[in-house]
Homo-oligomer: A and B are copies of this chain.
Amino acid sequence: MRGAEAKNTRTTAGTGVRKKRILALARNLFWQKGYHSVSMRDLAHAYGCQPANLYNYFKTKESILFEVLLEEMEQIIQPIAHIEAEEDGDPVEQLRLIIFGHLNVTLSYRRSAKTLFDVALGSLSPRDRKVIVSMRDTYDRIIRKVIKRGQERGLFVSCDEKVAGFMIASMITRTRIWFHPGKGLTVAELAQFIFRFTLRAIGAREEVERAVASGNTAGRDAKRIRHLKDTAADSQRFNFPASA
């Protein structure tokens, strides 16, 4: 730790280049083959060294997983963290920001993919898992707040915003399974699809929807529609132990 800078100037470049390169390789391998199916030998071979050398950079295999997941969650949360406190923002635009950002992080740099997140969470130490889960909770909190604000302004249909948030995150998360770049929609097109799909699902009026699609955000002051009550699902008693 102490002489990290000195070491790196001496060889190639800035601070921790080697560690970052290993981390990038681990990220790709984990997403491709799953955490348990990637051995330290695999990772060492990808980096071009013996397994023992990896322990000069990481304490355990689990700590590598932790850093990979942490990096991912930061990329998702950082661009939308400001939304939670912005009470006066446009919910439709905020939703667009969340969906596009989340999908971009989800589908960038990856070819095939496993659902690393769900499975590997159990491999983390309780301490590390707490960190990741709390970041996921932050994401859930933000998207729910946006939905609720839209409902309160009559922009969206009234329904359980927790479950609705799960639905949105689920659609985005699972693109990892079926989406292949270059074979159909682009990532941007897919994001647009999910965005409009979601807007309709939460009952945004068609006028708002089309206005937003054409870049016009002035549809905010259009007349309200009558609320549709979800007979079964608008009970607020739903608890959320884990999410997407």
Which residues on A are within 8 Å of B, measured CB to CB? Answer: 33-34, 36-37, 114-115, 118-119, 122, 157, 159-160, 163-164, 166-167, 169-171, 173-175, 177-178, 180, 183-185, 188-190, 192-194, 196-198, 200-203, 206, 209-210, 213, 228, 230-233, 235, 237-244
Contacts and interface: CB of A to CB of B under 8 A. Distances in A.
A108 B95 CA distance: 32
Contacts of A201: 197-198, 200-201
A230 B193 contact: yes
Contacts of A196: 159, 230, 233
Given A193-B160, A194-B167, A228-B206, A183 B239 contact: yes
Nearest to A242: B178
25 contacts: A33-B122, A36-B37, A114-B118, A115-B118, A118-B177, A163-B185, A163-B190, A166-B175, A166-B178, A167-B171, A167-B197, A170-B175, A174-B244, A178-B240, A178-B241, A178-B242, A185-B238, A190-B233, A193-B233, A196-B230, A197-B201, A197-B202, A198-B201, A209-B228, A210-B228
Contacts of A239: 180, 183-184
Contacts of A238: 183-185
* A-B pairs with lowest CB-CB distance, top 8: A184-B238, A201-B201, A193-B233, A170-B174, A192-B232, A115-B115, A183-B239, A189-B232
Nearest to A114: B119
Nearest to A33: B122
A5 to B, nearest CB: 40
B118 A233 contact: no
The listed residue with most B CB atoms (<10 A of its CB), out of A184, A202, A242, is A184
The listed residue with most B CB atoms (<10 A of its CB), out of A163, A228, A235, is A163
Contacts of A160: 185, 193
A88 B244 CA distance: 37
Nearest to A240: B178
Nearest to A121: B114
A34 B184 contact: no
